[in-house]
Amino acid sequence: VAVLALVLTGTGIWVYSALRVTNVGELSFTNELHVPPELEPVIDEDGRKRFDLTMQEGTSEFLPGQETATWGVNGAYLGPTMRLERGDDVAMNVTNDLPETSTLHWHGMRVPAAMDGGPHQQIEPGQAWSPEWTVDQPAASLWYHPHLHGATAEHVYRGVAGMIIVEDDDVTEGLPNDYGVDDLPLLVQDRSFRSDGELDLNATGPLWMQATYGLMGDQILVNGTHDPYFEVESERVRLRVLNGSNTRSMNFGFDDDRAFQLVGTDTGLLPAPVELDRIRLSPGERAEIVVDFDPGDDVVLRSYAPKQAGSFAEDRLAGADDEFDILRLTAAGELTPGEPIPAELATTPEITPPEDATERVFTLGGTAHINGASMDMSRIDEVVPAGATEIWTIENPSVVHNFHIHDVAFRVLDIDGVEPPPELTGRKDTVYVAPNTSVRIAVEFGEHVDPEAPYMYHCHLLEHEDQGMMGQFLVVEPGTEDEVARDLGIDG
């Protein structure tokens, strides 16, 4: 056992150093940050906004003089930003021009399960899929990405992903919202390149190492731009930061340690801004931050090793203690004045479980199990009554993981029994679960009922998800949950 442990640790350290991002002082910030275009919808006679999305192959140049085969949506790498307003009727015309079957999932969006774009809503090559729904949720920064079971990691790594901005009139006012000027999406990803310029899908080493740590990279892309800079023209800029990596956690901050205001998390704005100088995001998590600039400022957005003690070996292996540069922001000599941030932001009531809330426990096992079972597309794991608020406990006795639930918003109640830090008190759909930690969340379920199509919950480290660290739940008419569960032969 001791020898095995030594071998495992040795290999682990090898991966750790092979896939570290060590670019501090090495970047020249020569490429202007790409801002994904906003996709204009076509408006139907009945007022429905139709968005045309084509998943396609292409060629990108990330590194100077190197061509890289990539996948994207309406382009070679990543996809356009979609702006939706609460109350909108929307339709997505998704065409799959990729050489493989895929899906397109709306991460953080409340949609009927059959429109969710999860593993069951497959689109064959050459085929199209047209889900429709009505947007009914608070303002937030969401995103879309493939969700084909067993291939999600690879499809996302190749480049299929994009941002969705949900607006809600009452509460979005007063925050910077001039897209591409003082309101910027930052989709941050790590990638590895082979010497011939192609994406390296084997960079993590032997298969079993890849199984544990997933596809990582020693280069950072922001909105698909390597070595990026952005010219700031306003005193106050909102950054919608998304960690779009497969495995790597990032701990964002500025190289002059300036403070910023956290105004929103995954699925909504905070009740009031929270001042921070670091914000940690595991894969799939988002943070909306507002940063103040003085004329002539020149700062670098960086990922820092988390300061808190007790960062475990597994955590470090997932890139959490690397320190690397992400984006240089240079402010012009004269800046457009910014409005003060409203002292009150969201008016959405805090997610509060009832006294007699149903409680469920999910134990993350290894890199492929939840509660001892691996994902089975023909098995329903949980049945939840529509509109319920439940308490879910996520236990992690294993390596680094996080936990994401479809169609919900949740609030972190406690981590190992301790109240969460301010940045984890808002509306979320994905939460980091460190090794040997247990996180309790109050989960607000949606109102869309479907006795057949399930929603997913899973680890958002994409290789873990692909390997089966995922389960399925049905949302049913309240009062029928026990009967449905009994008919399915489960006790939930």
Q: Is 149 in the site for ligand C2O (CB under 6 A)?
A: no
Q: Which residues contact 91 (CB under 8 A, 6 or more apart)?
A: 44, 48, 49, 50, 51, 130, 131, 132
Rounded Cα–Cα distance for residues 433 and 416 (Å)? 10
Residue 406, binding choice from Cu ion, ligand C2O, none, Cβ under 5 to 8 Å by partner class:
ligand C2O
> Applying CB under 5 A, does 458 fall inside the site for Cu ion?
no
Can you spell out the DSSP letters for 110-143? ---GGGS-STTS-B-TT-EE--EEE--S-SEEEE
Q: Which is nearer to ligand C2O, 171 or 441 (CB)?
A: 441
Name residue 392's beta-bridge partners. 360, 441
In angstroms, give the least distance from the CB of 469 to ligand C2O: 11
DSSP secondary structure letter of residue 313? H
| Residue of the chain from 39, 83, 84, 105 that contacts ligand C2O (CB under 6 A) | 105
Q: Which residue, 245 or 261, has its beta carbon nearer to ligand C2O?
A: 245
- Other C-beta atoms closer than 10 Å to the C-beta of 256 total 10
Min. distance of Cβ 279 from Cu ion in angstroms? 21
Q: Distance (Å, rounded) from C-alpha 310 to C-alpha 340?
A: 38
Binding mask 43-82 toward Cu ion (x if CB under 5 A, else -) reads ----------------------------------------
Q: Is 110 in the site for ligand C2O (CB under 6 A)?
A: no
Residue with token string 């006012």: 173
Q: How far is the CB of 194 from ligand C2O (least distance, A)?
A: 27
Q: In the set 107, 158, 238, 328, which binds ligand C2O (CB under 6 A)?
A: 107
As measured in angstroms, the least distance from the Cβ of 156 to ligand C2O is 9
Distance CA 296, CA 475 (A): 53
Residue from the set 39, 53, 461, 462 that interacts with Cu ion by CB under 5 A: 461
Only segment of 170-178, 287-295, 392-400, 454-462 that touches ligand C2O (CB under 6 A): 454-462
Tell me the closest approach of the beta carbon of residue 365 to ligand C2O, in angstroms.
Answer: 19
C-beta closer to Cu ion: residue 401 or 404: 401
Distance of alpha carbon 13 from its chain centroid, rounded? 27
Which 8-state DSSP code applies to residue 461?
S
Tell me how far apart the alpha carbons of residues 62 and 225 are, in angstroms, rounded to a whole number.
6
Q: Which does 404 bind (CB under 5 to 8 A by kind): ligand C2O, Cu ion, none?
A: ligand C2O
The CA distance from 198 to 205, in Å, is 16
What is the per-residue DSSP string for 136-163? -S-SEEEEEE---TTTHHHHHHHT--EE
Q: Which residue is nearest to ligand C2O (CB)?
A: 107
Residue 401's binding partner among ligand C2O, Cu ion, none (Cβ under 5 to 8 angstroms by kind) is Cu ion
Distance between CA atoms of 133 and 86, rounded to whole angstroms? 11
> Is there binding between residue 147 and ligand C2O (CB under 6 A)?
yes
| Interface residue with Cu ion, options 55, 459, 475, 484 (CB under 5 A) | 459
The interface with ligand C2O within residues 383-412 (CB under 6 A) comprises 404, 406
C-beta of 464: minimal distance to Cu ion in Å?
3
Closest approach of Cu ion to the CB of residue 365, in Å: 10
Which DSSP category does 102 fall into? B
- Token pair, residue 473, equals 């739940």
Would you call 66 exposed, middle or buried from its count of C-beta atoms within 10 A (0-12, 13-18, 19+)?
middle
Query: Rule CB under 6 A: is residue 428 a binding residue for ligand C2O?
Result: no
State the minimum distance, in angstroms, from the CB of residue 256 to ligand C2O: 33
Q: Which distant-in-sequence residues (6+ apart) come within 8 Å of 219 by Cβ?
A: 21, 23, 62, 63, 190, 191, 192, 193, 226
With CB under 5 A as the contact rule, the residue among 83, 238, 401, 440 that binds Cu ion is: 401
> Binding to ligand C2O by residue 284, rule CB under 6 A?
yes
Residues engaged in binding Cu ion (CB under 5 A) = 401, 459, 461, 464
Residues engaged in binding ligand C2O (CB under 6 A) = 105, 107, 145, 147, 284, 404, 406, 456, 458, 460
